Every structure is written in C-alpha cells, then in structure tokens.
Structure 1
C-alpha cells in the first residue's frame, strides 16, 4: 500500500464521520480576490504560502505553529494566496485552522486536503476557503468531474493537481484553469523539479490557464527554474515554515516571470 493509499483510506473514514454529523450551517463570508486573476498576468512569480505543521515524509515540521500568526506573516510578506492544510492524521491540520485564518486575512485562501466527497467541499467553503484542491491521482474521472463541477457551482476556484502527462490530460478534460504540478510523487513522496518541466512541455500556454509548481521549492534558483519552464506561481510550505525570515524567503522566490514561447 502506498502513502497515498493510506491517506485515502483514512479520508474515507473521515468522510463517513462528516456525513454522520449534523449539516454545518453555511456562514456568510466576504468574497476574496480571484487567485486565477492574481496569477494570470502577473509579471513576477507568485507565492502560495502554506501553513504546514507536519507531513508523512518529513514528520513534524513546525509542531507548535499558530495558523493565524503564520498567515498574517505570509500576508504581510506579499503571498498571493495562503494555503491551509486541513488533514489531521498526516499533516496535523484542521478545518478550525482554516476558519481562524479566514477571519484574519483577506487574501485568496486554499483549503489543502485530499478531497474525495462533496461534504469536504462544503466544510471547506463554510470555513472560509475560496479555493479547493482536487488531486487527479486520488480520483476517478467521474469523481473528478463531479467534484470540480460542485465546487465551481458553489463559487469556489479549483486548483487541480497533476503529476504526469496522463493526469494533465484528465485535468484539461474538465477544463481546469488552475493546474498545479506536484513535484512530489504522492505514492513514494520523492521530489523532482523536472516534473514541472515535463508537464510544462505539454501545457497549453496559448489557452487561458495557469501553471503552478508545487513542492521542492527552496531557493531563488528553484524559482528561476520553474519560472523558465512556464510556471506563474509556486506553492511553498516546508521551506517557509522553517525560514527565519519569511519575508526574505518569499521575496527571494518572486522572480520575474519568463516569457514562454510554444
């Protein structure tokens, strides 16, 4: 059983628990800026900064991290979007973390989780997310189509995550506008920035879509590499959580966007 299999097995149990609970009353929340609009024509590589206490591959990263404090630092440092991990067993996050951050900042807000059911999307929206993540590797075509449509109708943006050429085809088949390349293989948790370059070589940049590079971004040279490939943004968690100066770290990644000719 791969790490992804273990996570999805746990998610199915979590979904059963959520469905058994009383329906959450949807709160009225102020609208947030569009992440797509922020990224599409930006002249600099943008940073999606992640609140991340732990991961299956690295264990504890920042055990006592306080989500509101971290989010406000990210916001002040110029992050285009804040990502909050809401998975508890593997990443030590929660929907309560997401709601707390939603009340503290007005930037686009990504609920980072392994979504397999509409009830999770409802919880994410109610907690204040404006963007959700759908991982192609975790879903069948039918599930991907259903969850994407459900989120869009709910007024959410969707970051669709891929890892290889076949998954990119599946993301394009549902007309995803925000497409992230996870440089980390969720089955082995090995990281390789070449994944962004491989997907970028197949990416329809002439269409109105945005490519985001996720995982393994630590230094300016990494940002330059994925920007040269065609990424408009990077999703960064561990390196920011470990950084002594988040502002300096974020600014070091905001390199000029390279013009991609296809």
Structure 2
C-alpha cells in the first residue's frame, strides 16, 4: 500500500466517524456557512496580486516535520499582506498535522480566498469546508472516478464553492475534466512516492482547456520558475514548503515576492 492508498484508507475512517459526531444540519448552522465565498478567478487574475496560492503546512509524509512553531493566523495574514492571491490550508491531521480549526482561524483574519487542502472523497466534506469558511475545495483525480468528480463538483457549486481539480498526468486530465470546474491544477508531485518533477506542468499546460484557470502545484522554489510557468500559460502557483521551512514564513514570502516583481 503506497502513501496515497494509506491516506485514503484513513480518510474513509475519519469521514465515517465525523458523520456520527456532527450532522450536515449542524454544519449548515455554522457561523461561516452562510457567507458568500470569494471568487477564486477574480483574485487569481487580479493584477495587483501575485498569482501565488500560499500554503500553511506543518508537516508532510515525505518531509516529516516542516514547521511546528508558526501559527496559522500570523502566517496566513502575512501571506495575504505579501500579495497572495489565495491561501491553502491543510486540514488532514494524521499525515499533514492540520485540522479544521486552521481554516476557521485563517478565515477570521483574512479577506482573500482560502482553499481547504484535503483529500475529499465524500460530499459531507464539502459541507465541512463551507462551514469552516473555505472558498475553494480540492478534488484529486487520482482518488476519484469521473462520475464522483462530476457529482462533487455539482454539489460544491450549489454551495457557492470554487472547485480546483488536481491532476498528475494526461490520462487523469482527459478523463476528469467536466463543466463547473473553476481551475485545473497540475501537481508536480507523484502522490504514490512523493517525488517531484516540474516538467509535469510544462508537459500538460497546453492540454488543459483554456476555459479553466491553470495552476501549477509543488516543486516551485524560485521566482524564475514562476516566470517560466507564467510564460507557458499558468495563472496560479501553489507554494508552501519553500516558505514554511523558514523561521518566518511570512517574511520569506515577502522577500520572494519582492524578487518576483523586481524584474
């Protein structure tokens, strides 16, 4: 069983337990549930912002502990101040050290879109995301059938949520694209062994229909790569580890953005 299989196996157990503890009706009564989510596209294409989706992540299966000292409030608010177009906040506890409260806390101090970074396998998780105050949900083609992607997308849109579909290769892209998606992300990380290769983005960018915003995810650690990805046709760039591994992630992003816009 590879890492991804282990995560999904555990996620099924977590969702089943969550359903017994908090009903969908209770989720719809949450303070954040009635708010109107921000438009992912509007912020991503805002010329006054960077296109960076800045991620808050404490640890990962491949790298282990990345950052156990920074708070989600201080990091995400600093990311937003530095020009992030959106925030990505991990909610998986066992493998990434996240939780629902991280999204709730980030929502309380930010006024830009928040992606609930999670392995979504059930419609229940969409209601959770809305209740947390997330604006964007992630659907990973590697763990969902085309029918599941269509169904989850439709429900997400009915809740006003933006949908980011993540693919890792051409086969996933071709079988998973459907109406209603807002963006398609190319994850340069192999989710079976967690190795990374930025070339994946360059290989797939022209295969993504121009109807969708195009996002490159993972393996981005320098401004030159962002310039190359932008020239290739990408609108957004998900970064986190490059910032989170530093003593002050917000300051690290601020320096990164200064270099990005200096040319």
TM over 0.5: yes
Q: Secondary structure at the match of 2:9?
A: helix
Query: 2:200 is matched with which residue?
Result: 195
In the aligned structure 2, how far is the partner of 1:4 from the partner of 1:180? 18
Query: 2:191 is matched with which residue?
Result: 186
In the aligned structure 1, how far is the partner of 2:203 from the partner of 2:227? 16
Q: Secondary structure at the match of 1:50?
A: strand
Q: Secondary structure at the match of 1:211?
A: strand
In the aligned structure 1, how far is the partner of 2:132 from the partner of 2:218? 25
- The Cα of 1:21 is off from its aligned counterpart by 1.2
Segments of structure 1 that go 5 or more residues without pairing to the other structure are 257-262
Match of 1:252 among 233, 253, 259: 259
- The Cα of 1:225 is off from its aligned counterpart by 2.2
Superposed CA RMSD:
1.9
Query: 1:15 is matched with which residue?
Result: 15
> Please, which moves more after superposition, 220-229 or 86-95?
220-229
Distance 1:231 1:254, change over 3 A: farther
In the aligned structure 1, how far is the partner of 2:96 from the partner of 2:188? 18
| Total equivalences in the alignment | 254
In the aligned structure 2, how far is the partner of 1:58 from the partner of 1:15? 25
In the aligned structure 2, how far is the partner of 1:204 from the partner of 1:91? 31
Match of 1:145 among 143, 147, 150: 150
Distance 1:214 1:254, change over 3 A: farther
Residues 224, 255 of structure 1: 8 Å contact kept: no
Query: 1:112 is matched with which residue?
Result: 117
Structure with more of its chain in helix, by fraction? 2
Residues 214, 235 of structure 1: 8 Å contact kept: yes
Segments of structure 2 that go 5 or more residues without pairing to the other structure are none
